[in-house]
Structure 1
Amino acid sequence: MTFEQAIEQLKQWMIQSHGCAIHIGDDCECEFTQLETYNDEQIAATETTLGWHFPLALNVFLKEIGHSRLFYDPQYGLGIDIFSLEQIQQTSEELKNLEEEEPITDQFCMIGTANSMGDYFGFTINRNTPDNFAIYCHEYPVFEYVNVLNELNSWRTFEDWIIQIVATLGEEEL
């Protein structure tokens, strides 16, 4: 599966779902809700505010899928929430101003949460490689995120993550 195919599959599920649960696999019944998509100007304004340019794949995702709820299980409240541009900005600002035991030396752009564990996912801005996307475990303080990810070799690209969650019907979000 390619990134483009994964985006198209998500769009199809959103059309089918209309905020109601649909069957997408043998045992998988979930909802897909698209709340807002964005244009180039809105994305550029957010990038300017953050002082960082989103990867091309995230731009495509924000224009095609955008602020959304994916693989949402109405019975248990599980799923993946993709933030609005405003939430992305707000969360980035909150992380900059967090007071922790040690200083936070890395810069993050969180774009959503995986509701199964309450983990953020997003980008480490100052990691200058394509594989700067990760799930940031709620069990660790923010100042340890990058060290833990390096130790576990858990870095990936945003494209690979989208492909993985679509191919596994949301089962392997982490």
Structure 2
Amino acid sequence: MQPHIGISPENLASVSLTLSTILADEFMLYAKTRSAHWNIEGADFYNKHLFFESQYEALDEIMDEVAERIRFLGHYAPATLHEYLRLTHFSERLPDGNTSEIFIRHLLEDHESLIIKLRENINRFANELKDSGTSDFITGLMEKHEKMAWMLRAHLK
């Protein structure tokens, strides 16, 4: 049953599709962060191993929130690797090397790219698609990614 929440079915579909691409990006970032957690090497192994764990756990929560938001809007969340690869704007490319600096720079680039994507959709959701709730939701996501990017950036000083 479709929700009747003051947003047209067309706009609900458009918002849900964009959220699906965001979910795919979140999943790719999660997978890359897991890879960093599993494959980190160097004198700072233990510290960074725990740091990357905290980041992928945060991303796991974010993925759940995005998928649930899609369901709130009456659509199904993508849930297969095939769908994620089709929807994401990230590549599967992993960094060349397993040091903390290499992983951190690679993950930071993806977080910043996602922040830009989220920022570009805040006003679109509110104004064009008449969904202030999702606009507010992705503002919160953007802020979470800004904090995660800051944490990554701080390791590069």
Q: TM-score, normalised by structure 2?
A: 0.26
Larger helix fraction of residues: 2
> Higher relative contact order at CA 8 Å, sep ≥6: structure 1 or structure 2?
2
Larger of the two Rg values belongs to structure: 2
Larger strand fraction of residues: 1
